């Protein structure tokens, strides 16, 4: 399954613990809304497959995440969980 790798671009860079929590919260909210689930049902350590997403779902979600997080998102096999995605964004 193709998963998400993110490279933030633009004027504002995401920094600090509070903003990382906001990024994680935003990603969880987007996924929960897409799957019509409660945010509490989405664990950031679960794989995207465990959450119930397939590659087509991820492609749709990527577009929404790019808009809301002002990031350019590329697909990769390496990023398989929300935690890994947030960690990658934090390194940018």
**What three-state secondary structure class fits 18?**
helix
Q: Which member of 50, 54, 70, 83 is catalytic?
A: 54
pTM comes to 0.75
CATH of the domain at 68: 1.10.1200.10
Q: Measured between alpha carbons, how far is 82 from 44 in angstroms, rounded to an integer?
A: 5
Tell me which residue range forms the domain holding 83.
Answer: 3-91
pLDDT band at 21 (very low <50, low <70, confident <90, very high): low
Question: For 31-86, what is each residue's pLDDT tens digit?
Answer: 999 999 999 999 999 999 999 999 899 889 988 988 888 877 776 778 889 998 88
Instruction: Pick left, alpha or beta for residue 38 (phi over 0 → left; psi -120 to 50 → alpha; otherwise beta).
Output: beta
Q: Kindly report the number of other CB atoms within 10 A of residue 3's CB atom.
A: 20
User: How many domains does the chain divide into?
Assistant: 1
Q: Measured between alpha carbons, how far is 26 from 1 in angstroms, rounded to an integer?
A: 22
pLDDT band at 29 (very low <50, low <70, confident <90, very high): very high
54 is catalytic: yes
Rg (CA), the chain: 12
**Helices 82-91/17-35 angle, 10° precision:** 140
Residue 40's pLDDT is 96
């Amino acid at each position: 399954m193709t998963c998400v790798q993110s490279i933030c671009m633009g004027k504002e860079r995401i920094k600090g613990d509070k903003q990382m929590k906001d990024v994680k919260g935003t990603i969880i909210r987007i996924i929960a809304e897409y799957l019509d689930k409660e945010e509490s049902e989405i664990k950031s350590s679960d794989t995207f497959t465990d959450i119930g997403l397939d590659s087509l779902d991820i492609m749709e979600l990527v577009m929404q995440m790019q808009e809301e997080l002002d990031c350019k998102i590329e697909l990769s096999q390496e990023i398989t969980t929300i935690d890994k995605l947030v960690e990658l964004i934090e390194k940018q």
